[in-house]
Structure 1
Amino acid sequence: MFDVIVRSEEPILLVGGGDVDNDSLRAALSRFRCIVAADSGADSVLKAGGKPDAVIGDMDSISRATREALDPHVLHEIMEQDSTDFDKCLRSIDAPLVVAMGFLGQRVDHELAAFTVLARRSDRPCILIGREDVVALCPPVLNLEMPRGTRVSLWPLANVTGRSTGLHWPIDGITFAPDAVAGTSNHVDGPLEIAMDAPSMLLILPVDFSDALSRAIMAGPRWVS
């Protein structure tokens, strides 16, 4: 059991130290009441003109200037090295949704680690926003309306099954696995519904649908630990 550091009844913006578009981050900072940074993500927040309400991580990469610019009470150092800063943050946040920027792009190993955390913390709804894509763990049921032809990719993190309506290539009756069958480069033919039997499938959409995906995740059921 881990201590909750940040609680919110509204979605929270979480900023990591990876690739992030400064203009997009600046726009996001104006839309969220609560801002959390993962370690050196605090540098990105300050650069974009904001201030984090909490900084969580092992604090091995935050700059000295940023640390000195912040009130000490917003710094929450978690020293253990068995988890990533993203994991430390997600397990320490209690909110209906975490919208995370700065975790996609640049290093592939960091991206893969973030995907693992999405599955490990499946009871903490979260979307990862990059320059081109938005990535989330498929909830038990997802209902989403997008224009016909919109790209929908599914990537399994383990053996998993599910059902769909509105996908050009339905997923019913398929056992997905990372070393066997994946569901990349599908697209929608109508209103989309995806139901998964386990929290093991990543959903990848064009980044323009980040807000729609956020609303759909918050409106539907969530996985329980």
Structure 2
Amino acid sequence: MQNLSNVLLIGNGTLPGAALLERLARQATFILAADGGADKARAAGIQPDLVIGDLDSLASAPEQVLRVPRQDNTDLEKALDWLTAHRAGRVCIVGSVGGRWDFSIGNFLSVYSYLPALDIYFAGDGWKIYPLVQGTQKAVRPGARVSLIPFTACTRVNLSGTQYPLTNAQLALGHTGRTLSNCAQQAQITVQFESGFMLLYIED
């Protein structure tokens, strides 16, 4: 039986360096590759447990492949659909950025509808990005850069543990002057808000 409590999802973008990728793979209970992400994973010495997608960018098919021929969603969304249907837990996405900017931006936006079901975050060398529709607490390195990026209007936002806290702030799409390049002052930060969709960026 598949253990999907801690999934590493590998996309077809730029992968992090070997040290981070190997550590994430060791921590994962299941490794899922989205289409051409499988080629990049194997080139890095990582064997996915399953490859999913329409397979239009996969150079060589491994044994465990699930082809989803529909063309009205991305390979990342196909992978997240499968994880949602199988009640996965935490999902770390790598290879979501790099190459085409339209896909990179689209990947951050496309996870929105999956957040009620999956605990998703993106990881790269020196950073993590958490898409949020509700409050959270995260361990941080004191001194690390912390940013909030609203993708919708976000209401009654509270941020603590940083150099510039927020109290009942209203954040609007396109207005990030108050929330970019903050600095962690403690080993944990807390974000609370009433409604909205935002990205929480944390430097490692």
Asked whether the two chains share a fold, i.e. TM above 0.5, the reply is: yes
Greater helix proportion:
1
Q: Deviations over 1:76-109 (max 9, x none)?
A: 1112222111111112113220111111233321
Please state if 1:39 is matched with 2:32: no
Instruction: Give the partner amino acid of 1:205.
Output: I
Aligned to 1:117: 110
Match of 2:149 among 143, 155, 171: 155
Instruction: Give the partner amino acid of 2:136.
Output: L
Match of 2:198 among 196, 201, 216: 201
TM-score, length basis structure 1 = 0.79
Moved over 3 A (4+): 6-9
Match of 1:105 among 89, 98, 103: 98
TM-score, length basis structure 2 = 0.86
Report if aligned partners of 1:159, 1:200 keep a CA contact under 8 Å in 2.
Answer: yes
Report if aligned partners of 2:138, 2:190 keep a CA contact under 8 Å in 1.
Answer: yes
Identity of aligned residues (%): 27
Aligned to 1:48: 44
Report if aligned partners of 2:8, 2:32 keep a CA contact under 8 Å in 1.
Answer: yes
Aligned to 2:70: 80
Separation in 1 of the partners of 2:193 and 2:168?
12
Range with bigger deviation, 166-175 or 75-84:
166-175
Q: Deviations over 1:108-141 (max 9, x none)?
A: 2122111112212112211111234211113523
Report if aligned partners of 2:151, 2:198 keep a CA contact under 8 Å in 1.
Answer: yes
Instruction: Give the partner amino acid of 2:31.
Output: I
Equivalent positions of 1:50-69 (< 5 A) are 50-63=46-59, 66-67=60-61
Report if aligned partners of 1:139, 1:195 keep a CA contact under 8 Å in 2.
Answer: no
**Structure 2 stretches of 5 or more lacking a match?**
none
Q: CA deviation at 1:36?
A: 0.3
Task: Give the RMSD, CA atoms, in angstroms.
Answer: 2.1
Q: CA deviation at 1:146?
A: 2.7
Inter-CA distance 29–145: structure 2 relative to 1 (3 Å threshold)? closer
Range with bigger deviation, 36-45 or 89-98:
89-98
Instruction: Give the partner amino acid of 2:120.
Output: C
Secondary structure of the equivalent of 1:105?
Answer: coil
Instruction: Give the partner amino acid of 1:80.
Output: R
Q: CA deviation at 1:180?
A: 2.8
Secondary structure of the equivalent of 2:24?
Answer: helix
